Amino acid sequence: MGLKEELEQEYKTALKAGEKLKVSTLRMLKAAFRNKEIEEGRGLTTQEELRVVQMLVKQREESVEAYRTGGRQDLADQEAEEAKILEAYLPQQLSEEQLERLVRDVLEEHGATSLKEAQPLTRLVLERAEGRAEGKRVQQVLRRLFP
């Protein structure tokens, strides 16, 4: 079952169970998928769907920080719950060791010997990670490998 089908099933279940926050979060995710499909002019690939989910999770995490800074813990908690709901649709993240091994493999293949040569390879690492790593983590690994 694809991500969209799973999402639709969970949406119906949450609707029947009266889980308001989950229903609104899943409705927002469905709308984000629809908007991206309209923007692309075609259906989304699994990778594109994962990127949409990652983008929404990142937005929620940024909002949590902003609300905490502004003293709105109630809104920060709501955003954190939404992020948790959305994260359930993402694949399990690579461990630090797995990510470092993947980065080293890509660097070896392309002969990168400095941070300046390695940074453009971030996109390739992210493609190979298939949604199981964030660009920020890849950059941290690169900085650790090229101090």
Tokens 């075609």 sit at which residue?
Answer: 42
Report the range of poorest mean pLDDT among 22-36, 52-66, 74-88, 126-140. Answer: 126-140
Q: Which two tokens stand for residue 124?
A: 């390739």
Domain boundaries, the chain: 3-87, 96-145
Domain range 3-87, CATH class: mainly alpha
State how far the Cα of 94 lies from the Cα of 104, in Å rounded to an integer. Answer: 14
Q: Say whether pLDDT at 1 is over 60.
A: no
Mean confidence (pLDDT) of the chain: 90
* 3-state SS record for 15-41: HHHCCHHHHHHHHHHHHHHHHHHHHHC
Q: Say whether pLDDT at 95 is over 70.
A: yes
Pick from 76, 84, 69, 73: nearest CA to 25: 84
- Cα-based distances in Å from 132 to 11, 120, 125: 24, 19, 10
State how far the Cα of 49 lies from the Cα of 43, in Å rounded to an integer. Answer: 10
Task: Dump pLDDT digits (tens) for 69-87.
Answer: 999 999 999 999 999 999 9
